[in-house]
Structure 1
Amino acid sequence: MAQLTAGGRATRVVATIVGVVLLLAGTLWGYDDKFPFGPFSMYAGVNGPNEPAPDTRVEGTDRTGRTIVLNERNAGVRRAEIEGQEGAYVADPARLARIADGYQGLNPGAAPLDEVALIVRLHEIHNSSATGRWHDDVRAVWRRAS
């Protein structure tokens, strides 16, 4: 085995110190876009033992009345993107039309969507255990103009 030179050891120590300083600075002042040197805040919080667990989804209703869960495969949008921008969709439901457009682009033969809804299913939790009960909270709805 070859021995590390003094310069090699110094380089490793400096690289380690720089990495630790970047991680610490990112943790204190960073935000998700700076990951891995910023916090990955989507996992930073925890619900209380009796608070509902949210499960976000986007549903589209086509002209035939069929309801489709919209996701990355069929509409080109990931759930994390929806969750991260939920406030913007609630403030401006017309933004959901872009998801309908994405669905149509990925499914050209499918019936067009007349409605897209952002829905959060709140699963009831009691003493940190699921109760099996839930309710849906419709946060935003876009409807195609007639």
Structure 2
Amino acid sequence: MDEMTVRGRWIRVAATLLCGVLLLGGTLFGVDDDFPFGPFRMYATGPDPNGDAKDTRVEGTDEQGRTVQITEGNSGIRRAEIEGQEGAYVAAPSRLSEVAAAYQEHSPGAAPLKSVRIVVRWVGIKHARPTGTSRDEVIAEWRRP
């Protein structure tokens, strides 16, 4: 049985046409959620070669005034989770109290945090190369009452 039947050929042609129509429609009218039949813009665009690069971090201040980097290891919260909900934290900084609670739960011997903040470091970029300059911006902060 080395030859394909006529019915088999028609099924392959129809499947190919259907995929082609879905790809074309997704390319013209789709959004990232339509992947693989829509564009996946993350890989289709590039950053501004002269725009600042964003580096987000979460840090807290303990009762002794020391700055503590909040990491997945000491809080159980991944940085990507914070970045994904950045807008919600900016709108309601009190949500950062949950980060302080997670830190305390995962770091029982550590001093309690009196504040938690999300800090964005904007790294200067010129002609797609770091300039060596940066500036920090606190975009959300919670303080224990």
TM-score range, shorter chain: 0.7 to 0.9
CA RMSD, aligned part only?
Answer: 3.0
2:123 counterpart residue number: 123
Identity within the alignment, %: 57
CA distance in 1, matches of 2:24, 2:50: 33
Matched, 1:88 2:88: yes
Deviation at 1:67, TM superposition (A): 0.7
Q: TM-score, normalised by structure 1?
A: 0.74
Q: Which stretches in structure 2 are left out of the alignment for 5+ residues?
A: 1-9
1:49 counterpart residue number: 49
Q: What is the letter of the counterpart of residue 120 of structure 1? A: V
CA distance in 2, matches of 1:117, 1:50: 28
Structure 1 78/32 Cα, relative in aligned 2: closer, same or farther at 3 Å?
A: farther
Count of aligned pairs between the two proteins:
145
Deviation at 1:71, TM superposition (A): 1.2
Question: Larger Rg: 1 or 2?
Answer: 2
Q: What is the letter of the counterpart of residue 65 of structure 2? A: G
Q: Secondary structure at the match of 2:105?
A: helix
CA distance in 2, matches of 1:71, 1:18: 46
CA distance in 2, matches of 1:82, 1:112: 20
Deviates more, 1:105-114 or 1:16-25: 16-25
Deviation at 1:81, TM superposition (A): 0.9
CA distance in 1, matches of 2:28, 2:60: 40
Q: Which stretches in structure 1 are left out of the alignment for 5+ residues?
A: 1-9
CA distance in 2, matches of 1:96, 1:43: 32
Q: What is the letter of the counterpart of residue 139 of structure 2? A: R
Q: Secondary structure at the match of 1:49?
A: coil
Matched, 1:133 2:133: yes
